[in-house]
């Protein structure tokens, strides 16, 4: 095991050190990978060293590398090595964080990390939470909690809310989901919410939740939390804020100004595997109302009777009973680098998007569609939708950088999400230069 472990560390270090020399996205055709990997499960022990090399060189090489400094697509995951080691350590100990009796150490660490994340987002002491696999499961957990605490049948969100929220509502069987048009800056207008609630009440429905977004995936837009929280207070709605992408920006001064009012959320999700530099999987849900998670998720079957009633049983705060520790990686990396480094990393992401915007504005043929906000800038090449979509494909084939595309108000746009603090200004410039060349 020791020898294999050293080799694993060497492979990870070589991956990180060599990233810049590789394309950010590498895809192989299925037949080629199946030829390498498909076989009956071996009956006898095999050469684990060779299998490890195959894993690294073929399986893990053929992916989108969310930690690559020129991966700007969708939402990157600029991970860090310390967290990866913590994940390895936790797996090596097969850490259990489902109950107090079964894992008081991991449980306390999770409480500590949750409190750090709460403070980082500017939420009041006393907020409770749970670490989850990511934003999608955080949405499911939040919306289940909202409906349990405040029963009803109608939810409001904007046309810019992430699709995982719609999926969560579908899974939960919420009958009425009102998708409201966003304003000219892609934010959810409080007046439209108010009007929709009134119309639904007149129709005999019972609104129970409003979902707002702290940093939309499309443009980094932030919904007006203060005014939306006022509507929720007046109408007795649960306010869930999807901060999976943008909430960590609250660590910085200007991020906190942009996210003003976020502390009024009844629940807030955020994804440390996005802008807090953690490897997959690391999501988080914070809930203001004490005991709400337990009231929604607790279970007490007879076969758990020996491990019931602990100080805190995280199996009762979400949909997972057996669960590992996601706190270890967040904790160890914050201990190693300090919050100032995280803050500087987030600042850097915002500055990179501003740099991209300035470069695009100085390059003929490009239109900035939405300005840099929370490290996302969207832009468009003179020409039609087909050209703009084709540019992303051409960039991936070119192999230098990976932008992505999306559709805003019916128009295809390109998009850079620049949250990797290791990206250099020169790499942004070269990305735009190559896109310019690919358009010609």
**Residues contributing to the site for ligand PLP (CB under 6 A):** 75, 134-136, 162, 164, 213, 217, 242, 244-245, 271, 283
For 267, phi then psi, to 5°, come to -145, 150
Minimum CB distance to ligand PLP, residue 242 (Å): 5
Tell me if 26 sits within 8 A of 63, measured CB to CB. yes
- Our CB check for ligand PLP shows the closer of 164 and 373 to be 164
- Our CB check for ligand PLP shows the closer of 145 and 213 to be 213
At 427 the three-state DSSP class reads: helix
- Our CB check for ligand PLP shows the closer of 99 and 378 to be 378
Give the tokens for residue 363: 């390059």
- Our CB check for ligand PLP shows the closer of 197 and 250 to be 250
CA 173 to chain centroid:
24
Length of the chain, please?
A: 440
Minimum CB distance to ligand PLP, residue 274 (Å): 7
Please state, in angstroms and as integers, the Cα–Cα distance from residue 298 to each residue in 112, 292, 316, following that order.
Answer: 21, 10, 4
Burial class from Cβ neighbours inside 10 Å (0-12, 13-18, 19+) for residue 170 reads exposed
- Our CB check for ligand PLP shows the closer of 144 and 197 to be 144
For 158, phi then psi, to 5°, come to -95, 170
Q: How many CA atoms lie within 13 A of 313 on its CB side?
A: 22
- Our CB check for ligand PLP shows the closer of 132 and 414 to be 132
Minimum CB distance to ligand PLP, residue 123 (Å): 18
- Our CB check for ligand PLP shows the closer of 75 and 121 to be 75
Minimum CB distance to ligand PLP, residue 245 (Å): 4
- Our CB check for ligand PLP shows the closer of 25 and 75 to be 75
Rounded Cα distance, 246 and 313, in Å: 29
Minimum CB distance to ligand PLP, residue 271 (Å): 5
**Is the previous residue joined to 217 through a cis bond, with omega within 30 degrees of 0?**
no
Tell me if 168 sits within 8 A of 136, measured CB to CB. yes
**CA 63-64-66 angle, 5° bins:** 130
Minimum CB distance to ligand PLP, residue 212 (Å): 11
Tell me if 395 sits within 8 A of 402, measured CB to CB. yes
Minimum CB distance to ligand PLP, residue 215 (Å): 6
The DSSP annotation for 236-303 comes to: T-EEEEEETTTGGGGGSHHHHHHTTTGGG-SEEEE-HHHHT-PPS--EEEEESSTTHHHHHH----GG
Minimum CB distance to ligand PLP, residue 136 (Å): 3
34 contacts: CB under 8 Å, gap ≥ 6? none
Task: For residue 109, give the H/E element and its range.
Answer: helix 104-120
Minimum CB distance to ligand PLP, residue 130 (Å): 15
- State the residue for tokens 């914050």: 334
- Our CB check for ligand PLP shows the closer of 239 and 244 to be 244
- Our CB check for ligand PLP shows the closer of 272 and 345 to be 272
Q: Exposure pattern of 186-201 as b/e (b: 16+ CB <10 Å)?
A: bbbbbebbbebbeebe
Minimum CB distance to ligand PLP, residue 244 (Å): 3
């Amino acid at each position: 095991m020791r020898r294999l472990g050293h080799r694993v560390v060497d492979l990870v270090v070589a991956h990180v050190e060599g990233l810049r020399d590789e394309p950010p996205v590498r895809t192989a055709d299925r037949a080629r990978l199946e030829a390498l990997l498909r076989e009956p499960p071996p009956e006898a022990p095999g050469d684990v060293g060779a299998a490890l090399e195959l894993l690294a060189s073929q399986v893990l090489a053929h992916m989108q590398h969310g930690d690559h400094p020129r991966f700007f697509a969708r939402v990157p995951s600029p991970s860090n090595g310390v967290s990866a080691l913590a994940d390895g350590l936790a797996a090596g100990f097969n850490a259990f964080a489902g109950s107090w009796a079964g894992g008081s150490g991991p449980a306390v660490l999770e409480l500590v990390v949750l409190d750090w994340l709460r403070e980082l987002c500017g939420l009041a002491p006393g907020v409770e939470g749970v670490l989850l696999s990511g934003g999608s499961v955080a949405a499911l957990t939040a919306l289940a909690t909202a409906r349990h605490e405040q029963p009803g049948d109608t939810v409001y969100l904007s046309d810019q809310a992430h699709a995982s929220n719609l999926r969560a509502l579908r899974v939960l069987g919420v009958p009425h989901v009102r998708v409201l048009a966003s304003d000219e800056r892609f934010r959810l207008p409080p007046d439209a919410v108010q009007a929709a609630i009134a119309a639904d009440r007149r129709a005999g429905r019972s609104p129970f939740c409003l979902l707002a977004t702290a940093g939309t995936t499309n443009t980094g837009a932030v919904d007006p939390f203060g005014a939306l929280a006022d509507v929720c207070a007046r109408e007795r709605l649960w306010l869930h804020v999807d901060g999976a992408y943008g909430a960590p920006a609250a660590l910085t001064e200007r991020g906190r100004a942009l996210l003003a009012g976020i502390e009024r959320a009844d629940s807030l999700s955020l994804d440390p595997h996005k802008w807090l530099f953690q490897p997959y999987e690391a999501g988080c849900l914070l809930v203001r109302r004490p005991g709400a998670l337990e009231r929604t998720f607790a279970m007490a079957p007879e076969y758990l009777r020996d491990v019931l009633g602990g100080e805190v049983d995280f199996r009762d705060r979400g949909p997972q009973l057996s669960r590992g520790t996601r706190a270890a990686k967040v904790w160890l990396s914050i201990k190693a680098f300090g919050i100032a480094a995280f803050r500087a990393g987030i600042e850097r992401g915002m500055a990179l998007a501003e740099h991209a915007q300035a470069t695009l504005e100085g390059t003929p043929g490009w239109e900035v569609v939405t300005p840099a906000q929370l490290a996302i800038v969207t832009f468009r090449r003179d020409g039609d939708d087909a050209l703009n979509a084709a540019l992303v494909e051409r960039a991936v084939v070119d192999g230098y950088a990976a932008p992505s595309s999306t559709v805003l108000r019916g128009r295809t746009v390109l998009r850079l999400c620049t949250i990797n603090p290791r990206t250099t200004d020169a790499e942004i410039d070269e990305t735009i230069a190559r896109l310019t060349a690919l358009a010609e």
